[in-house]
């Protein structure tokens, strides 16, 4: 599994930092394996947007792609990304351009950024789509990307943001909640949980570096984590194998009681979280006014770098 990072512009520059790790664990079930086509389509769409975006803005000359000393990711300038639909707080709140909360998910700061995120999407998304189908995985991807954009806009209002990392962190969050809510169906439970938690922790820790939008990572992760409880339930083995039971044999319920509890909590927190976040955003509020320490989640200043206006 792997995850890339969602780039945040610091002034007019871009940075990149990502981590890739791998793990494997098995799940004991006989559910249908779906053919993955949506995730590969997402990959193609992201690549197409990047390539077509370069053609569309070719007339901008030097603004189309920055010199490598300004953008080491081999990508377009901040001005170009802004024209193509990057997330910018002022235009979302005061320019009635809420669509930027979605379009920014399909933009990338450069070739390296695009490649890292698409490799991550392939490793994470195909597995989930094969097990749970395109509808549920597609919803998690899009809603997590939206959740990441909302939190990013609330806490980072002086820079633009692009990238699919909020959605990718949502898939990681969904994998974690899926493991917890379907705990009894897994073998090597402890190893699976430790591996996944370490991967998530490492990637979130990378987000404290400058030029990386950790607010989007966290927003996407939390959205995906809650969506996993709602959308990725597995039935009990006794219910799956009910057709093989003799007549009159007792049949287990489809889901365990704790799974229903997780489902209710997940739905409630999702509704409240998205409602509060969107209301605060379109009222023009700054999340930092309500959380004096939250800016450290996106960047921790050291002697090696400064965070500027985070």
Residue 68 included in any domain: yes
Residues with Cβ < 8 Å from 203, sequence gap 6 or more? Answer: 3, 5, 18, 19, 169, 172, 217
C-alpha 4: how far from its chain's center?
A: 9
CATH number at residue 224: 1.20.1540.10
Q: Which residue has the higher pLDDT, 113 or 305?
A: 113
Q: With cut-offs at 50, 70 and 90, classify the pLDDT of residue 172.
A: very high
Residue 271 has pLDDT above 90, yes or no: yes
Boundaries of domain holding 269? 15-238+253-297
**Calpha distance 45→39 (Å, rounded):** 10
Q: What does the pLDDT average to over 95-124?
A: 92
Distance of alpha carbon 139 from alpha carbon 144, whole angstroms? 8
pLDDT score for 209 = 72
Query: Would residue 308 count as lying in a domain?
Result: no
Average pLDDT over residues 150-171: 93
Question: Cβ distance 118 to 163 under 8 Å?
Answer: no
- For residue 185, the model assigns a pLDDT of 77
Q: Can you tell me the distance from the alpha carbon of 60 to that of 158, in angstroms, rounded to the nearest whole number?
A: 24
In a domain, 257, yes or no: yes
Residues paired with residue 13 on neighbouring β-strands, in sequence order? 10
Confidence of residue 188 (pLDDT cuts 50, 70, 90): confident
Of the listed ranges 62-66, 88-92, 176-180, 272-276, the least confidently predicted one is: 62-66
Measured CA to CA, the distance from residue 184 to residue 171 in angstroms comes to 21
Report pLDDT for 299: 75
Which residue in 225, 231, 230, 233 sits closest to 263, CA to CA?
A: 230
Q: What local confidence, expressed as pLDDT, does residue 62 receive?
A: 47
Location of structure tokens 């490793």: 123
Is there a domain that residue 181 lies in?
yes
Contact 126, 187 (CB under 8 A): no
Instruction: Give the separation between CA 202 and CA 163, rounded to whole angstroms.
Output: 19
pLDDT given for residue 276 in this prediction? 97
pLDDT band at 296 (very low <50, low <70, confident <90, very high): confident
Does 102 map to a domain? yes
Mean local confidence (pLDDT), 153-161: 89
211 flagged as catalytic = no
* CA nearest neighbour of 274 among 159, 173, 145: 145
Better pLDDT: 212 or 4: 212
Q: Is 253 or 119 the better-scoring residue by pLDDT?
A: 119
**Burial (Cβ within 10 Å: 0-12, 13-18, ≥19) of residue 294:** middle
HEC sequence for the chain = CEECCCEECECCECCCCCEECCCCCCECCCCCCCCCCHHHHHHHHHHHHHHHHHHHCHHHHHHCCCCCCCCCCCCCCHHHHHHHCCEEHHHHHCCCCCCHHHHHHHCCCCHHHHHHHHHHHHHHHHHHHHHHCHHHHHHHHHHHHHHHHHHHHHHCCCCEEECCHHHHHHHHHHHHHHHHHCHHHECCHHHHHHHHHHHHHHHHHHCCCCCECHHHHHHHHHHHHHHHHHHCCCCCHHHHCHHHCCCCCCCCCCCCHHHHHHHHHHHHHHHHHHHHHHHHHHCCCCHHHCCCCHHHHCCCCCCCCCCCCC
Q: With cut-offs at 50, 70 and 90, classify the pLDDT of residue 227.
A: very high
Burial of 148 (0-12, 13-18, 19+ CB in 10 A): buried
Domain count, the chain: 1
Q: What is the pLDDT of residue 279?
A: 97
List 77, 149, 161, 165, catalytic entry: 165
Catalytic residue among 144, 217, 223, 298: 217
Look at residue 228 and tell me whether its pLDDT is greater than 60: yes
Residue 307 falls within a domain, yes or no? no
Is residue 5 pLDDT above 70, yes or no? no
pLDDT band at 294 (very low <50, low <70, confident <90, very high): confident
pLDDT bin (cut points 50, 70, 90) of residue 55 is: low
- In this structure, of 123-132, 194-203, 295-304, the range with the lowest mean pLDDT score is 295-304
Report how far residue 165's alpha carbon sits from residue 242's, in angstroms, rounded to the nearest whole number: 41
* Confidence label for 54 from pLDDT (cuts 50, 70 and 90): low
Confidence band, pLDDT 50/70/90 cuts, at residue 59: low
Q: Does 185 fall in a domain?
A: yes
Task: Determine, yes or no, domain membership for 291.
Answer: yes
Per-chain mean pLDDT for the chain: 81
135 has pLDDT over 90: yes
Give the mean pLDDT of 163-179. Answer: 95
Tell me which residue of 158, 160, 225 sits closest to 7, measured CA to CA: 160
Confidence of residue 101 (pLDDT cuts 50, 70, 90): very high
Mind listing the pLDDT tens digit for each residue in 232-269? 988 876 565 566 656 665 556 777 889 999 999 999 99
């Amino acid at each position: 599994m792997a995850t890339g990072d969602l780039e945040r512009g610091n002034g007019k520059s871009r940075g990149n930092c990502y981590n890739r790790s791998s793990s494997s664990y098995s799940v004991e079930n006989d559910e249908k394996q779906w053919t993955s086509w949506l995730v590969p389509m997402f990959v193609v769409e992201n690549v197409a947007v990047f390539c077509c975006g370069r053609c569309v803005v070719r007339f901008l000359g030097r603004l189309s792609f920055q010199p490598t000393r300004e953008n080491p990711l081999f990508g377009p300038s901040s001005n170009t990304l802004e024209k193509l639909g990057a997330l910018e707080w002022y235009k979302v709140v005061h320019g009635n351009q809420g669509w930027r909360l979605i379009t920014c998910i399909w933009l990338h700061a450069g070739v390296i950024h695009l490649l890292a995120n698409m490799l991550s999407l392939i490793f994470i998304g195909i597995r989930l789509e094969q097990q749970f189908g395109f509808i549920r995985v597609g919803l998690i991807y899009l809603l997590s990307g939206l959740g990441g954009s909302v939190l990013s806009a609330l806490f980072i209002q002086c820079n633009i943001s692009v990238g699919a990392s909020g959605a990718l962190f949502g898939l990681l969050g969904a994998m974690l909640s899926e493991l917890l809510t379907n705990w009894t169906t897994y073998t090597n439970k402890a190893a699976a949980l430790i591996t996944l938690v370490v991967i998530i922790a490492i990637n979130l820790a990378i987000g404290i570096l400058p030029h990386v939008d950790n607010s989007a990572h966290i927003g996407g992760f939390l959205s995906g984590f809650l969506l996993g409880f709602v959308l990725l339930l597995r039935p009990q083995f006794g219910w799956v194998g009910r057709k093989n039971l003799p007549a009159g044999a007792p049949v287990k319920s489809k889901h365990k009681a704790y799974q229903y509890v997780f489902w209710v909590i997940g739905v409630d927190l999702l509704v409240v979280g998205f409602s509060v976040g969107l209301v605060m955003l379109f009222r023009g509020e700054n999340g930092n006014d309500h959380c004096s320490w939250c800016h450290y989640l996106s960047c921790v200043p050291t002697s090696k770098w400064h965070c500027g206006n985070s």
